Amino acid sequence: MESRLNYFGNPIAGKVLKHINSANKVLADSMLSTTTQELVKIRASQINGCGFCTDMHTKDAVHDGETPQRLHLVAAWREAKVFTDAERAALELTEQGTRIADAAGGVTDEAWANAAKYFDEDQLAALLSLIAVINAYNRINVINQQPAGDYQPGRYG
């Protein structure tokens, strides 16, 4: 499979990615745990059918010490006993924030309040922003049909 466009080599796309990557760096440096960040990125990428991002973030999570069992259960997190209540709240917010078009009211007050039990205001700002950023990356890669499977951890810094 070939991508539709050499997005990573295109000057316009490079400018766009520079800004998205800068936003992602702010989030990576936030007080939101790396584990939670990777779970959010994986779940949004699964929902959006982004193989490129799913490949990247599962490999990054393993590289950071995540267990295969937890990674295999991200898509079925509601039934899995391996996630903390905070991780569950983040995953719920991720699902609702990613599936905005599927829900008449968008993200529910209940999902937001549940997340607010586990994350302070700065962490909530990071979580909300992370959901938006990973959805942007997913859309770029899905529209471009970016191939998945050959990502190596640390490849993009």
Residue ranges covered by each domain of the chain: 8-143
69-72 CB contacts, 8 Å cutoff, 24+ apart: 71/42
Q: Provide the CATH number for the domain formed by 8-143 in this structure.
A: 1.20.1290.10
Instruction: Give the integer Cα–Cα distance in Å for 28 and 22.
Output: 10
- Per-residue model confidence as pLDDT tens digits over 89-145: 999 999 999 999 887 678 999 999 999 999 999 999 999 999 999 999 999 999 999
- Per-residue model confidence as pLDDT tens digits over 64-90: 999 999 999 999 999 999 999 999 999
Measured at the CA of 29, the angle between CA 23 and CA 32, to 5 degrees, comes to: 100
7, 143, 71, 22: CA torsion to nearest 10: 50
Confidence of residue 154 (pLDDT cuts 50, 70, 90): confident
pTM of the shown model: 0.95
